[in-house]
Structure 1
């Protein structure tokens, strides 16, 4: 295991304030090519991280379920959309549909997703470490650094690269 990932959860908590500042600083450097580093760092991180060993995202946060997601997942489960919504979803403070509780009801004890083939777009794109969204939402990125080892890893690598 890479030394950056040893005890990453505690390190991420300890570095929350620094990481928040760093991500906000990164946002202003986007134009200087920093985002071009993300695809390679994303590949590097996920060559060392197995999501099935973690599933921190599925255990602690919910994706947004947009209308196309609801339609697709309802059909896959053989449920009417209204039944799917009533059974699994609630509206959050931003009026987005999210799961009623965590961990996600579609997460199995083996950390596999029972709706993986039709999962919400947010799940498919999470943790946004290979795209502009990494910088677009700095508060979410720094919070994700305590949920996802890949986000923590990439932030730490960026700190080293940008010294």
Structure 2
């Protein structure tokens, strides 16, 4: 990873209060329009970050497995949906299916995903650095800033770019 990303986890933890204030500001009129910067910053971040070197998301959090995801993944694995659910999933406090434990059981030792072709929508869209979800769900973005270097990178670049 690039030098600007060295010690990103430590830096992100130190910046939590600052990030929270920044994300709150982005939800006001002053922050409107910042979402137009996200696609470019997302691409910039991922030109510097190789997910296979990190896999922080797969090691620490679980995607939601919605009904279409359960159907696709269980078919891909050659399991009945009920067996797939019983083997790999549990209901969380919000009533969503998530993996029973971390790291994700489909994450290989090489950080490759064993179900990549049929991965859940949450995995496909993570870390939301290219969509308005980045601002609409500030608590999630804040949490993700210490899990994913791309979120840290985009927050840092946004803070430097968007003056309030």
TM over 0.5: yes
Within 5 A, what are the aligned runs for 1:55-134? 55-134=55-134
2:51 is matched with 51
Tell me if the contact between 1:59 and 1:104 (Cα under 8 Å) persists in the aligned partners: yes
Q: Counterpart in 1 of 2:24?
A: 24
1:60, 1:102 within 8 Å by CA — same for their partners in 2?
yes
Deviation at 1:28, TM superposition (A): 1.8
Q: CA deviation at 1:2?
A: 3.7
Following the alignment from structure 1 to structure 2, what is the Cα–Cα distance between the partners of residues 60 and 32? Answer: 31
Cα distance in 2, alignment partners of residues 32 and 55 from structure 1: 31
1:110-133 alpha-carbon deviations (Å, 9 max, x no partner): 000000000000000000000011
Q: Shift of residue 30 of structure 1?
A: 7.6
Post-superposition shift, 1:32?
A: 3.0
Please report the RMSD computed on the Cα atoms of aligned residues, expressed in angstroms. Answer: 1.2
Judging changes above 3 Å, is the alpha-carbon distance between structure 1 residues 101 and 30 closer, same or farther for their aligned structure 2 residues? farther
User: Superposed, which structure 2 residues align to 1:146-157 within 5 Å?
Assistant: 146-157=146-157
Alignment deviations for residues 41-62 of structure 1 (CA, whole Å, 9 cap, x no partner): 0000000000000000000000
Separation in 2, partners of 1:32, 1:58: 31
| 4+ runs deviating over 2 angstroms | 1-4, 29-32
Q: What are structure 2's unaligned runs of at least 5 residues?
A: none
Unaligned stretches of 5+ in structure 1?
Answer: none
The count of corresponding residues between Structure 1 and Structure 2 is: 163
Offset from partner CA, 1:19-38 (integer Å, 9 cap, x none): 11111211224873110000
Alpha-carbon distance, 1:17 to partner: 1.4
CA distance change for structure 1 residues 93 and 30 in 2, over 3 Å: closer, same or farther? farther
Q: Distance in 2 between matches of 1:11 and 1:157?
A: 14
* Paired residue secondary structure (2:90): strand
